[in-house]
Chain A
Amino acid sequence: MAGGPAIEMRGITKRYPRVVANDRVDLEVADGEIHAIVGENGAGKSTLMKVLYGLTPADAGVIRLKGKKLEKHRPADAIRAGLGMVHQHFMLVDTLTVAENVILGEEPRRNGVLIDAAAARERVESLSAEYGFELDPAEYIENLSVGLEQRVEIVKVLYRGADVLILDEPTGVLTPQEVKELFVILRALRNSGRTIVFITHKLDEVIELADRVTVMRDGRVAGVVEASATTKEELARMMVGRDVLLRVSKDVAAPGPTVLEVAGLTAVGRKGREVLSGIDFEIRAGEVLGIAGVQGNGQTELVEVITGLRKAAGGRVFLNATDITNRSPRQIRDLGVAHVPEDRQARGLVLGFTIAENIALGRHHREPYSRHGHLRLDAMREHAAELIDENDLKPRDPDAEARHLSGGNQQKLIVAREFDCEPSLLVASQPTRGVDIGAIEFVHQSLLGMRDAGAAVLLVSAELSEIMTLADRIIVMYGGRIVAAFDGGSVSEEELGVFMTGAGGGGGAGAGEGAGEAGRAGTPDGTGAPEAMH
């Protein structure tokens, strides 16, 4: 290994109009190590990486890459200096092939003007073979799984000759199997002499993969530790600045009567493709049903049908024995269904409205928010102030616009509003996506609180650990069907992961057929073995 550090950042400061995103941050990454950067949302990890990559200029500070100083650089300069970034949101063009995406911006040429397609294909094939990526250069990105897309991103970076790789939250979208495979790849890359910077907020992964860890909090470095010499608890304390309950303790569920019953539900998507096929399940009062699955396997559509946002093509949905199939969202809300939607900015909040207005939304047409067709702004503000206190929302100002809240506080605002109306069914979709550890703790405890108060909870999450922690029963969706059902605690993340990729149950068609039964079979009295497919 060479002597000096691969990356050296000194005193990096970056101010935005409202916040100091990076405050005199120092980062040193040794040559040939896997270095994790952890921190809550808004701690400044992504800003620091953007500064390093040249996407945003820093206000102050010095950057050295392998000893060479980078000044006022653009991504092109960073790439030339051997830096490669795998972005959290993949930077791939769906309508182009794997090879085209890889060579974009640095195309091999033939006769000076034309793209040398054969050379491109060869380069991608050899890079792909070197690390066992199994990529077909001629395949279009839109036909690839998320895991494969990520490999394309890595090949892109390697193609440009990067020996320092930055991966921004690389595991958020992967199944457990894909995460394992990614770690194998990253270790192989390190062993071939490359340096890897790995940004995450998942502490398990840090401990498993990283050599050293830099912890960030509120735009500053809270500490640098050896991964082998630390624990999750210690890292969490450094991240948050206080002790954090990493595992929510929960009592045994005491299920009551059936609240939600879904029978033979089907729905079709935009192109007439069936997005839900024969979904059957029920949730009883006082229990949490978790739906696991890779995004895009019908979970979104299922939630939309239950909450009235999408029409069912067939089947029925019953709430407390009332048929609510294809009723309007308002009717369904009025019957006691609360919804924490998947995309909090698109569907959960009106970003340009104040906290008070957002809290009134959905019940704004009724007392106390409204009387004789007029909004009662004072009543709205008063109630908002109460909820702010109860839920520790920041800022503590009912007139603050929702767009100025942090992601975690936006989510807390939605949770506060939805839980306020004492629902009999709570539908929570990705309730902790992109929020910090503190807010996750809050959301999890609120969900369990609702359960213990007798509500039925439908939890959809791509975060397996969340499902494992909270759900009393778990069903797995794949390809618009329920492919497996388990009791909480009777299954490991790995087992779930197998079903999430559609690999469980020996073949797609067979799994599909038995799906309905499995969904019904997974009642709380069952114990032990997964009641999955044949």
Chain B
Amino acid sequence: MFELVVLDSALRMATPLIFAALGGIFSERSGVINIALEGILLTGAFASVVVTYYTGDPWAGAFAGVFAGMLISLIHAIVSIVFRADQIVSGVAINLLAMGATQFLTWIIWGSSANSPPVQGMAHWGLPESWGAIARGVNAVIGHYPPLVYIALASVVVAQVVLFRTPFGLRLRATGEHPEAVDTLGVSVVRMRFSGVLLSGALAGLGGAFLALNTHQFVKNMSAGRGYIALAAMIFGKWNPIGALGACLLFGYAEAVQMGLQGRDVPTQFVQMIPYVLTMVALVGVIGRARPPAAIGKPY
């Protein structure tokens, strides 16, 4: 279970979770529940494959994922911030919309009800081989992950700094706790919440892009509950980027173990439950102590 290949796969499995969980943190810290992470992941995955398919450039695909994620989260923002609708209902609607729309468009574009043709993934980052043995050594250690894995890890650090060390982060956190206070100080609650939700769309969209580009194709409903697991990781990590990273790595590890165990003597159905059971166990273990932003879910 601790073979290198499992740990390696754990990090890859964790990457979309990390992006989505960071997204969830920005949204929920601003006071907007974002259960739509699931749908945003799926939309990001789909958009990235479409653009990569037509341009042949996975980086363009990744940007498309970010853009699509922001676009669909804009719906969530408008519905729940401007029209003050129930945020859970809006999120569920977006998830259903994303599921149906991506499947429908897959059929329109590629004539398949299940998946897209394969597309190119991202080239791994590394030093030029011509630099000699040292470059090859470095590449062997850190060079065999897709670039988005590093970007995910860097995003965690950036998110932590933004949330806790910048005026924007302070305002965002205050908005999720006590929007009236923020309003009376002349800071726009609406603007802060839009920022939180759109950032969340961008990050989760990028997570979706990684998910698809890492498997080199779009498969229908390929988010497979990862948005919800990311939400769990966010709660598990107490709405802190670093904490969420730890939880994502744990869930990623569970998923990798699950994949490693498939084909062995354990019945697949049980093996496939591992990440979800772990999610529930983790939540039950900490839910009493985790304190969500006080004004979460309340329209202002």
Interface residues of A (CB under 8 A from B): 53, 55, 74-77, 79, 85, 87, 89, 91-96, 100-101, 103-107, 109, 113-115, 156
Contact = CB atoms under 8 A, between A and B. Distances in A.
B76 interface: no
Given A91-B178, A104-B181, A115-B165, A74 B186 contact: yes
Interface string B156-174: 0000010001110011011
Interface residues of B, number: 20
A105 B165 contact: no
Contact of A105 (B166, B173, B185, B291): B185
A106 B178 CA distance: 17
B273 to A, nearest CB: 33
Nearest to B173: A96
Contacts of B180: 89, 91
Nearest to B185: A105
10 contacts: A74-B186, A76-B187, A89-B180, A91-B184, A93-B177, A94-B177, A104-B185, A105-B171, A114-B166, A115-B166
A91 B170 CA distance: 15
A77 B184 CA distance: 11
Contacts of A79: 185-186
Nearest to A108: B167
A95 to B, nearest CB: 6
B151 interface: no
A75 B186 contact: yes
Contact of A100 (B170, B183, B186, B294): B170
Contacts of B177: 93-96
Contacts of B170: 96, 100, 103-104, 107, 115
Contact of A114 (B165, B178, B181): B165
A105 B173 CA distance: 12
B184 A85 contact: yes
B182 interface: yes
Contacts of A89: 180
Nearest to B180: A91
Contacts, number: 70
Contacts of A156: 185
A104 B172 CA distance: 10
Contacts of A92: 178, 181
B184 A104 contact: no
Nearest to A113: B166
A41 B180 CA distance: 22
Given A79-B185, A107-B170, A114-B161, 13 more contacts: A53-B184, A55-B184, A75-B184, A85-B184, A91-B181, A91-B185, A93-B178, A96-B170, A103-B170, A104-B171, A104-B181, A105-B171, A106-B185
Contacts of B187: 76, 104-105
A100 B294 CA distance: 17
Contact of A96 (B167, B174, B183, B186): B174
Which of B178, B182, B294 counts the most chain A CB atoms within 10 A? B178
Contacts of B171: 104-105
A181 B234 CA distance: 44
Contacts of A53: 184
Contacts of B184: 53, 55, 75, 85, 87, 91
B108 to A, nearest CB: 44
A109 B165 CA distance: 10
A106 B174 CA distance: 13
A15 to B, nearest CB: 23
Kindly list the 9 A-B residue pairs having the minimum CB-CB distance in the complex, ordered from nearest. A76-B186, A105-B185, A91-B181, A107-B167, A93-B177, A105-B187, A93-B178, A93-B174, A75-B186
Contact of B181 (A55, A77, A93, A113): A93
Nearest to A271: B288
A114 B182 CA distance: 19
A270 to B, nearest CB: 10
B123 to A, nearest CB: 32
Contacts of B185: 75-76, 79, 91, 104-106, 156
B183 A75 contact: yes
Given A93-B177, A94-B177, A94-B294, A104 B182 contact: yes
